Chain A
Amino acid sequence: MRKRLAVSSLLLVVAAGVWAGIAGLSGRPEAVDSFVQIDRPPRIEPDYADAVIPPNIAPLNFLVREAGSAYSVRIAGPQGDPVEVFSRKPAIRIRPRPWHALLEQNRGQELQIDVFVKAEDGRWNRFQAITNRVANEDIDRFLVYRKMHPTHLRVKGRIDIEVRDLTSFRKSVLLSSDSPENGCINCHAFAGNRSDKMLLGVRSPTYGVGTLLVDGPAVHQIDAKFGYTSWHPSGQVAVYAVNNLPMFYHSSRNEVRDTVDLDSFLACYLSDSKTIAVEPNLARKEHLENWPAWSGDGKHLYFCSAPMLWPRDTPSPPPQYDQVRYSLMRISYDLASDRWGELETVLSSKDTGKSIAMPRCSPDGRWLSFCMCDYGYFPAWQAGSDLCLMDLAARDTTGKPPYRRLEINSDVSESWQTWSSNSRWIVFSSKRLHGVFTRLFISYVDADGTVHKPIVLPQKDPAFYESCLLTFNTPELVTDRPAATGETLARVFRSPKRLSVEMPLTMATPKAAGPTSESAWQAQRE
């Protein structure tokens, strides 16, 4: 018996040794003593070249799309120790610690990536170096976004609002559609770039419709359906859209899905008094109002507005659905007295011939980014949607709206942009990589408003996006990890206890206002 045990143990040790030897040999770095220079940069995916990258970003793992039996990558900057990665496979995974050290020491400087590929004949090829610049300014540490299947009409698949730590690959779920039992989770809105104040709309076939309000450590549920929402920087007022947004389909356009804002207005939630108010200028009967966005100083509310081209109760889609073009408007606001000023047209659709949507102001008040598309309110489903940037400071001095289409646009849809708290980074959704499966991109905006080549949100597995059937949208950058997540939020939503808010009786467009539990099965907009 003992003999048998001894033999078994010996066999185990030998097997472990052989396995360790094989594993060790296969992964042992090979020295690249000599190489042949290739006069072109290597093909890598994702495309992490010629970009400006945040100094606190997670390692930019990538795949080398060059045939070979071994890969050696050297990442170096003017300062600090280079980072070297050796791999038998084309997947290059960079160790986080040396990567962060290298980036930290090279803020504002260039980073060079040398890729060596061992060819079949055993010799090494060195490609032209890939260069990226490390920005001086950090990006906010946390990115909160929504992850879901591309939806057609109804939602049953899982939706996650996910929190990603941009300095690493750690992710956590803020709220999943499982929590409200196959519910729909709508756009999340933070006050400024802080996570201590957040609104999140939830619709559930079981628990009805409500909006979660995170206010510091407390979580409440408001008994109302909030659409696209923007918090005043003070966190005391939130303006949200109340819409009727049916979905319909195109018979042959490449993007099948489309939607129209049949009827809408903007309402204000006053945090202190827990009331809802409607400013008549934000709820004009013959107009559609959508996409509220506060300026960085909170003195103006920007939003999109278009004349309503159809009578009420027109079946969807109205014949004029593709003629609705939204202008960019703004209205002044005085927080102390809770008074609204006069309406101003910032950029008219008559001048642009296009429709404006999803405006967002940089927190420093200098820039206003927005989407411009052929018609309608929802650029994510329009291939022609481009990101634009307006210099608000220049507008205030010249009175003209100096805006431009950004050079980083692709020939497919760009949408859902958000700003970092230091106004140096934008994150946006784009279909440029994988069509219907929208991905998130990070771009640096320098002091003069130049927006640099974006990088796709890095993932631990560099091949992650190649088989990911989910779409990523509604990115929001925040400086802290949201305190209330998961079951804490879900429990509040499921509880019957709700903050009853007073809705004014004189709603301008009441048809758009009614949240029903049936609408829990309405499609989510990506």
Chain B
Amino acid sequence: MTETTDQTRKTAPRRKVGLPLSAVFFAAFYLVVALEIEPHLLYHGAGLIDNFPVFYRGWDFFAGFTTYPGGILEYLSAFLSQLFYHSWAGAAVITTQAWLICLCTGCAIGAVGLPRWRGLRFVGPLLLLALYSQYTFHLPVTMGALAALAALCLYLKLAPKGQTGAGVWFLAFSVGLYALAGGPYLLFALLCGLVEILFRGRPRLGAIQLALGTAVPFGLGVVAFGQRPHDAYFQLLPLSWKIASYASSELMRNAVWALLLSLPSILLVGGIGSASLNWRRRHSKKTKPSGRQGWLGKTTTKLLGDPARSRFGPNLGTAALIVATAATLLFYRDPKVKTLFETDYFSCHGQWSKVIEIGRRNPYHYLVCHAVNRALYREGRLGDEMFAFPQRPEALRLTRQEALWQKSDMCVDMGLVNEAENALMICIETHGERPLLLHRLARVNEIKGNISTARVLLGALAKVPFWSGAARAELARLDADPELSQDAAIQHWRSIMLRQDFVRDADTLTLLLTENPANRMAYEYGMAGLLLTKSLDQFARNIETFRPAVVAQDPRHHLEALLLHRTLKRQPIDVPGRTIPREAKIRLHEFFQALQQHGKDKAEAAEALRGPFGDTYYYYYFLGG
């Protein structure tokens, strides 16, 4: 009895233990996407993603997608991408997509008789991880790839065995898939053709499928839908001019191609490998035992383990997947880009302390520096702490390069409402009708008293998922108080709005201050700008002219600059009503002493004095900027 049991143990397949490898992988995948990548940052866009789709509720919006092949998939992608609003939901979308790609790839690889290659089903999910780690948005294209893979699986599972039946099924799938997904249908036709030619030994059917693959877009897209050939073939593929016209679609385009072509490559290599094996078998004098693995099979089995044992545990498959995932994250995770997204997100949501914290942790970056200065101003610390952060003059008002997305909020706060409107309208042209932009533009129009325009913008916003509540509340507020006379924020913005009209470059900050000396932001930014450009004469003049009467104590950097100016000009340090605190004088004295110790070696001085004096204006004036 005991003997029999032992024998059974030996012959029966080893019992699978532990969680399935894919379950562990996708649980980890979800956590990485939700907690590390944070899809809500992609939804926010930060002015860095220009291809994030617009979505509105309602039949009219949907109807626009039904007029061309691939429209339905585009609509679905636009809908799913709205879920990125919440990181947990966006991560669920990405993870589900990755899982389905994995499932379909595994299914296809299994169905063509390459079960030992099933470990390669994780290539697609890893490429997705790479795409999102780089903060690029390619959801419509990757959805197209998924649709093609899913159709292939259905074809492999459901199509009749006979050639005619399979051909008819293929045709039916072709029509359905092309109408639904557009260009990615080409991938489906290619995969079917490869399977039939390389694995099922039906080269004629395969050739017909490949030929139909090129004919269907023409017949349906060009003839039936009246599309131009380019659009009929390449809709939702990286070759599409529409996709290429978005600057952010350029990023990681190779990874998108890799995702699209990974399964065809696997089939091609596997098919050729199998064919060569069969050829060798036929021409070999010795008959090899059936079921013997080729070199490719052996290698992959060694590398990725037996699919029958694809369980999470101490095996080579698990190790390979962990290494591949770690390598993907190592190579593609981009904290610098994430910092830019986070900075803008926190800025737009008024989370100033987080913006300042980012500034403290990171070296100089044009956009981060701008956001930090704005955060410092909002916290009332600009004049006291701005030189504790890396500074350059152009970042204060974004004068070096166009950064319209970031510019509009600053302009509104300063009273340059038209400039903000202009920036927002151009952003809508380049980034689409993003809800954040519509919301901002509605506010700009409310400030300007263009209530009817604001209402239209809010009306559109009310159709956007996750924004409708706020938009409806705003519309109700406009119903109750059409002039927004009870809205303190709007009244404030109106009070500081620039009144003088001109069409050429002008010193807007001075004009703002002349019109309204209580415009605190114009004052602080104006003075900060003079500090950054080291224009101490002008600074000294302006502080006399524009210094708000209500300011009890000049901010630290203003005092430092004033002291420095008087010292350099050999003027009396203290004048009646504008004395410099003793601590500032001592600090300047100490700074000069320390500076003298380093002679003319500016680099050495900068390095040595950064610690004790790096947060002073003296340091910026002599050693920074």
- CB distance A436 to B450 under 8 Å? yes
Which of A245-253, A291-299, A392-400 is found at the contact surface with chain B? A245-253
Chain A residues whose C-beta falls within 8 Å of the C-beta of B598 in the assembled complex: none
In the complex, A469 Cα to B498 Cα: how many Å? 26
In the complex, A248 Cα to B502 Cα: how many Å? 10
Q: B493-505: contact bitstring with A at CB < 8 Å (1 yes, 0 no)?
A: 0000111111110
* Chain A nearest CB, measured from B449 CB (Å): 8
Contacts A156-B429, A466-B455 given; indicate if A435 touches B506 (C-beta within 8 A).
no
Q: A430-457: contact bitstring with B at CB < 8 Å (1 yes, 0 no)?
A: 0001111100000000000000000000
- Check B66 for interface membership: any CB of A closer than 8 A: no
- CB distance B501 to A250 under 8 Å? yes
- CB distance B422 to A256 under 8 Å? yes
In the complex, A494 Cα to B425 Cα: how many Å? 29
Chain B residues whose C-beta falls within 8 Å of the C-beta of A248 in the assembled complex: 503
Contacts A248-B503, A465-B456, A487-B227 given; indicate if A157 touches B428 (C-beta within 8 A).
yes
- Check B565 for interface membership: any CB of A closer than 8 A: no
In the complex, A206 Cα to B455 Cα: how many Å? 37
- CB distance B429 to A466 under 8 Å? no
- CB distance A181 to B241 under 8 Å? yes
- Check B483 for interface membership: any CB of A closer than 8 A: no
- CB distance B452 to A434 under 8 Å? yes
If over half of A's interface residues share one DSSP class (helix, strand or loop), that class is named, otherwise mixed; here it is loop
In the complex, A490 Cα to B230 Cα: how many Å? 12
Chain A residues whose C-beta falls within 8 Å of the C-beta of B456 in the assembled complex: 434-435, 437, 465-469
Chain B residues whose C-beta falls within 8 Å of the C-beta of A182 in the assembled complex: 241, 245
- CB distance A251 to B498 under 8 Å? yes
Chain B residues whose C-beta falls within 8 Å of the C-beta of A151 in the assembled complex: 425, 429
Which of B23-31, B96-104, B457-465 is found at the contact surface with chain A? B457-465
- CB distance A251 to B500 under 8 Å? yes
- CB distance B425 to A467 under 8 Å? no
- CB distance A253 to B425 under 8 Å? no
- Check B282 for interface membership: any CB of A closer than 8 A: no
Query: Among B242, B448, B497, which residue has its beta carbon within 8 angstroms of that of A178?
Result: B242
- CB distance A154 to B506 under 8 Å? no
- CB distance B226 to A486 under 8 Å? yes
- Check B567 for interface membership: any CB of A closer than 8 A: no
Chain A residues whose C-beta falls within 8 Å of the C-beta of B254 in the assembled complex: none
Tell me which residues from 391 to 444 in chain A have a Cβ below 8 Å from any Cβ of chain B: 433-437
Contacts A149-B428, A251-B502, A254-B448 given; indicate if A434 touches B422 (C-beta within 8 A).
no
Q: A162-198: contact bitstring with B at CB < 8 Å (1 yes, 0 no)?
A: 0000000000000000110110000000000000000
In the complex, A487 Cα to B228 Cα: how many Å? 6
- Check B426 for interface membership: any CB of A closer than 8 A: yes
- CB distance B501 to A154 under 8 Å? no
- Check B163 for interface membership: any CB of A closer than 8 A: no
Closest A residue by C-beta to B428: A149
Tell me which residues from 218 to 233 in chain B have a Cβ below 8 Å from any Cβ of chain A: 226-228, 231
In the complex, A254 Cα to B499 Cα: how many Å? 10
- Check A218 for interface membership: any CB of B closer than 8 A: no
Tell me which residues from 423 to 463 in chain B have a Cβ below 8 Å from any Cβ of chain A: 425-426, 428-430, 432-433, 438, 445, 448, 450, 452-453, 455-457, 459-460, 462-463
Closest B residue by C-beta to A260: B503
- CB distance A156 to B418 under 8 Å? no
Closest A residue by C-beta to B426: A152
- CB distance B453 to A434 under 8 Å? yes
Closest B residue by C-beta to A315: B504
- CB distance B508 to A251 under 8 Å? yes
Closest A residue by C-beta to B463: A467
Chain B residues whose C-beta falls within 8 Å of the C-beta of A152 in the assembled complex: 422, 425-426, 429
Contacts A254-B448, A434-B456, A466-B456 given; indicate if A179 touches B228 (C-beta within 8 A).
yes
Contacts A252-B418, A490-B228 given; indicate if A467 touches B501 (C-beta within 8 A).
no
In the complex, A179 Cα to B230 Cα: how many Å? 10
Tell me which residues from 455 to 489 in chain A have a Cβ below 8 Å from any Cβ of chain B: 461, 463-469, 486-487
Closest B residue by C-beta to A437: B456
Chain B residues whose C-beta falls within 8 Å of the C-beta of A258 in the assembled complex: 503
Chain A residues whose C-beta falls within 8 Å of the C-beta of B242 in the assembled complex: 178
In the complex, A354 Cα to B2 Cα: how many Å? 112
Contacts A435-B452, A469-B433, A490-B228 given; indicate if A252 touches B425 (C-beta within 8 A).
no
- Check B421 for interface membership: any CB of A closer than 8 A: yes
In the complex, A465 Cα to B455 Cα: how many Å? 10
Tell me which residues from 229 to 284 in chain A have a Cβ below 8 Å from any Cβ of chain B: 248-254, 256, 258
- CB distance A321 to B500 under 8 Å? no
- CB distance B422 to A317 under 8 Å? no
- Check A491 for interface membership: any CB of B closer than 8 A: yes
In the complex, A151 Cα to B430 Cα: how many Å? 11
Closest B residue by C-beta to A205: B245
Which of the listed residues A258, A466, A490 has the most CB atoms from chain B within 10 Å of its own CB?
A: A466
- Check B419 for interface membership: any CB of A closer than 8 A: yes
- CB distance B241 to A155 under 8 Å? no
- Check A18 for interface membership: any CB of B closer than 8 A: no
* Chain B nearest CB, measured from A455 CB (Å): 17
Chain A residues whose C-beta falls within 8 Å of the C-beta of B500 in the assembled complex: 251-252
- CB distance A155 to B226 under 8 Å? no
In the complex, A413 Cα to B503 Cα: how many Å? 20
In the complex, A445 Cα to B178 Cα: how many Å? 51
In the complex, A202 Cα to B209 Cα: how many Å? 39
Closest B residue by C-beta to A178: B242
* Chain A nearest CB, measured from B233 CB (Å): 14
In the complex, A215 Cα to B438 Cα: how many Å? 42
In the complex, A6 Cα to B596 Cα: how many Å? 98
In the complex, A196 Cα to B392 Cα: how many Å? 61
Chain A residues whose C-beta falls within 8 Å of the C-beta of B445 in the assembled complex: 435-436
Chain B residues whose C-beta falls within 8 Å of the C-beta of A77 in the assembled complex: none
- CB distance B418 to A250 under 8 Å? yes
In the complex, A11 Cα to B549 Cα: how many Å? 78
Closest B residue by C-beta to A459: B60
Closest B residue by C-beta to A317: B503
Which of the listed residues A254, A321, A463 has the most CB atoms from chain B within 10 Å of its own CB?
A: A254
Closest A residue by C-beta to B430: A156
Tell me which residues from 197 to 238 in chain A have a Cβ below 8 Å from any Cβ of chain B: 206
Chain A residues whose C-beta falls within 8 Å of the C-beta of B498 in the assembled complex: 251-252
Chain B residues whose C-beta falls within 8 Å of the C-beta of A464 in the assembled complex: 60
- Check A54 for interface membership: any CB of B closer than 8 A: no
- CB distance A253 to B418 under 8 Å? yes
Closest B residue by C-beta to A465: B456
- Check A335 for interface membership: any CB of B closer than 8 A: no
Chain A residues whose C-beta falls within 8 Å of the C-beta of B417 in the assembled complex: 252
Chain B residues whose C-beta falls within 8 Å of the C-beta of A435 in the assembled complex: 445, 450, 452-453, 456
In the complex, A433 Cα to B438 Cα: how many Å? 18
- Check A153 for interface membership: any CB of B closer than 8 A: yes
In the complex, A182 Cα to B452 Cα: how many Å? 30
- Check A150 for interface membership: any CB of B closer than 8 A: yes
Closest A residue by C-beta to B475: A466
In the complex, A467 Cα to B502 Cα: how many Å? 32
- CB distance A467 to B428 under 8 Å? no
Chain B residues whose C-beta falls within 8 Å of the C-beta of A179 in the assembled complex: 228
Chain B residues whose C-beta falls within 8 Å of the C-beta of A157 in the assembled complex: 428-429, 432
* Chain A nearest CB, measured from B169 CB (Å): 26
- CB distance B418 to A466 under 8 Å? no
A contacts, CB < 8 Å to B: 149-157, 178-179, 181-182, 206, 248-254, 256, 258, 317, 321, 433-437, 461, 463-469, 486-487, 490-491, 494
9 A-B pairs in the complex with CB atoms less than 8 angstroms apart: A149-B428, A157-B428, A157-B429, A251-B498, A253-B418, A437-B453, A466-B455, A466-B456, A467-B460
Closest 3 CB pairs of A and B: A435-B453, A467-B459, A152-B425
18 additional A-B residue pairs with CB within 8 Å, beyond A152-B429, A434-B453, A487-B227: A152-B425, A178-B242, A206-B241, A248-B503, A249-B422, A250-B503, A251-B416, A251-B502, A252-B417, A258-B503, A321-B503, A434-B452, A435-B456, A437-B453, A461-B60, A465-B456, A467-B56, A467-B460
B contacts, CB < 8 Å to A: 56, 60, 226-228, 231, 241-242, 245, 416-419, 421-422, 425-426, 428-430, 432-433, 438, 445, 448, 450, 452-453, 455-457, 459-460, 462-463, 497-504, 506, 508
